[in-house]
């Protein structure tokens, strides 16, 4: 138990569906992250929020839309996804983004399958 | 471009010692992290190195040489529960983590 929860743990969706992934952290952190993890590939940083403000968007397609209503909650809204978007989506949090030694705490991930 | 290299898979025997290497080329350096990820679970933090040398934490140690762009994670007295993937990540000058693809460690009895 890392203090970061994600729901749902598994999601199967068609290419025309709209769904949302939810992340919640109970650590009092100010920074939250979305990562994509594909088999045998490095973690890909998608979005970063610090004090509810988006600070990074690493060229992520617009079919992925993040939302951060407060420092404890982070959403990833999905629509018209492609099969290549099937992956494990990990949420993480840290105290903030500007201090190098602050490690990130990860949630267990949502295993997404796009059919 | 930025690049982190680590072996894809390693096998070791219970009770033995294993060293997992990581080499990096990044835009700036603000420290190197090692994370452990068991199958189907979240990555968990193991160590952070920003200065050259060896940091020891129980059965796990991490070494850094900034001039060589090189780190290793040393696991001693291996246990079956150490079977996992080990992820190396470097924080670049923009305070972004650049990740390696991970090393899957298989422990045999």
Is B81 strand, coil or helix?
A: helix
DSSP-assigned letter for residue A109: -
B1 or A4, higher pLDDT: A4
Residue A52's pLDDT band, with cuts at 50, 70 and 90, is confident
Distance CA A63, CA A68 (A): 17
**pLDDT of chain B along its 109 residues, tens only?**
789 999 999 999 999 999 999 999 999 999 999 999 999 889 999 999 999 999 999 999 999 999 999 999 999 999 999 999 999 999 999 888 999 999 999 999 9
Least CA distance to B7: which residue of chain A? A40
Mean pLDDT computed over every residue of chain A: 92
DSSP-assigned letter for residue B39: T
Token reading at B81:
């529960």
Distance CA A70, CA A23 (A): 11
Are the beta carbons of B62 and B71 closer than 8 angstroms?
yes
Q: Do B99 and A42 touch (CB under 8 A)?
A: yes
Is B28 strand, coil or helix?
A: coil
Token reading at B29:
């350096």
Q: What is the pLDDT of residue B47?
A: 96
Are the beta carbons of B96 and A45 closer than 8 angstroms?
yes
State pLDDT tens for residues A67-103.
Answer: 999 999 999 999 999 999 999 999 999 998 878 778 9
Residue A16's pLDDT band, with cuts at 50, 70 and 90, is confident
Q: Name the one residue in this structure whose structure tokens are 């001693």.
A: B76
Token reading at A63:
């079919």
Token reading at B86:
């080990």
Q: Do A90 and B42 touch (CB under 8 A)?
A: yes
Q: What is the pLDDT of residue B5?
A: 97
Q: What is the pLDDT of residue A55?
A: 81
Q: Do B33 and A41 touch (CB under 8 A)?
A: no
Look at the alpha carbons of A106, A112, B2, B8 in this order and tell me if their dihedral is positive or negative.
positive
Q: What is the pLDDT of residue B34?
A: 98
């Amino acid at each position: 138990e890392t203090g970061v929860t994600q729901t749902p743990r598994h999601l199967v969706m068609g290419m025309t569906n709209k769904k949302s992934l939810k992340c919640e952290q109970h650590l009092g952190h100010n920074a939250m992250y979305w990562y994509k993890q594909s088999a045998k590939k490095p973690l890909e940083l998608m979005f970063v929020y610090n004090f509810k403000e988006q600070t990074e968007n690493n060229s992520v397609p617009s079919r992925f839309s993040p939302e951060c209503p407060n420092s404890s909650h982070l959403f990833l809204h999905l629509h018209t996804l492609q099969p290549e978007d099937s992956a494990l989506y990990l949420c993480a949090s840290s105290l903030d983004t500007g201090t190098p030694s602050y490690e990130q705490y990860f949630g267990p991930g949502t295993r997404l399958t796009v059919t | 471009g930025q690049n982190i290299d680590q072996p894809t898979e390693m096998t070791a025997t219970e009770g033995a010692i294993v060293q997992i290497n990581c080499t990096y080329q990044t835009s700036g350096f603000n420290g190197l992290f090692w994370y452990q990820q068991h199958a189907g679970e979240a990555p968990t933090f193991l160590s952070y190195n920003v200065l050259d040398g060896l940091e020891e934490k129980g059965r796990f140690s991490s070494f850094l040489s900034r001039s060589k762009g090189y780190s290793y994670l040393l696991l001693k007295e291996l246990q079956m529960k150490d079977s996992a993937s080990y992820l190396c990540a470097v924080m670049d000058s923009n305070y972004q983590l650049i990740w390696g693809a991970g090393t899957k460690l298989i422990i045999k009895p």
